[in-house]
């Protein structure tokens, strides 16, 4: 079953069960997909890869919004929790990312492969990690780990 078919089935089930959180998240994904499909110059196939990109972009926006609401304190807690639900729920259709330990191992390997040291090499190392492992890693995590590793004293 394709991602689009799964989304449609989940949407029908959410409507039947009157699950407003799932319903809102699924409708928003369909809305985001419609915006992308109707953009001038759009010509790519509407397949699983397309839906993964749409969902990933939406999840990234919701993660940022969730963090902003969480920073506002108790008054915005309910909104942050709603966004956290959307991020977690929609994450099932996204490729799994490496955890921090595995990402750190990749970063260390690229640093050794390139033979670089110092903070000035951070962009080069980050770029190489993302080039080789784009779908498997979280870019923000890579950036943080590269800076940590390059700032650490070399043995």
pTM for the model stands at 0.72
As a whole number of angstroms, the distance between CA 11 and CA 122 comes to 43
pLDDT at residue 154, rounded to an integer:
59
Going by pLDDT thresholds of 50, 70 and 90, the confidence category of residue 136 is confident
Q: How many residues does the chain have?
A: 155
% residues pLDDT > 90 (the chain):
72
Q: Report the pLDDT averaged over residues 126-155.
A: 85
Query: What is the rounded end-to-end Cα distance, in angstroms, of the chain?
Result: 51
Q: Name the CATH architecture for the domain at 100-151.
A: Orthogonal Bundle (1.10)
Whole-number mean pLDDT of the chain?
91
Q: Quick one: DSSP state of residue 138?
A: -
What SS3 state is found at 19?
coil
At CA 27, angle to CA 136 and CA 37, rounded to 5? Answer: 70
Q: Domain map of the chain by residue range? A: 3-93, 100-151
């Amino acid at each position: 079953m394709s991602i689009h078919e799964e989304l449609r089935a989940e949407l029908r089930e959410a409507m039947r069960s009157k699950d407003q959180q799932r319903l809102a998240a699924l409708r928003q994904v369909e809305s985001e997909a419609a915006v992308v499909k109707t953009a001038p110059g759009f010509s790519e196939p509407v397949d699983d890869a397309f839906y993964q990109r749409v969902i990933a972009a939406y999840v990234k926006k919701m993660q940022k919004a969730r963090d902003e609401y969480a920073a506002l304190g108790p008054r915005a807690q309910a909104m942050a929790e709603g966004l956290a639900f959307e991020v977690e729920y929609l994450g099932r259709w996204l490729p799994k990312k490496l955890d921090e330990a595995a990402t750190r191992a990749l970063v260390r390997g690229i640093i050794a492969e390139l033979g670089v040291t110092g903070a000035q090499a951070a962009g080069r190392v980050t770029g190489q990690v993302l080039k080789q492992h784009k779908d498997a890693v979280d870019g923000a995590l890579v950036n943080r780990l590269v800076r940590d590793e390059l700032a650490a004293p070399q043995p």
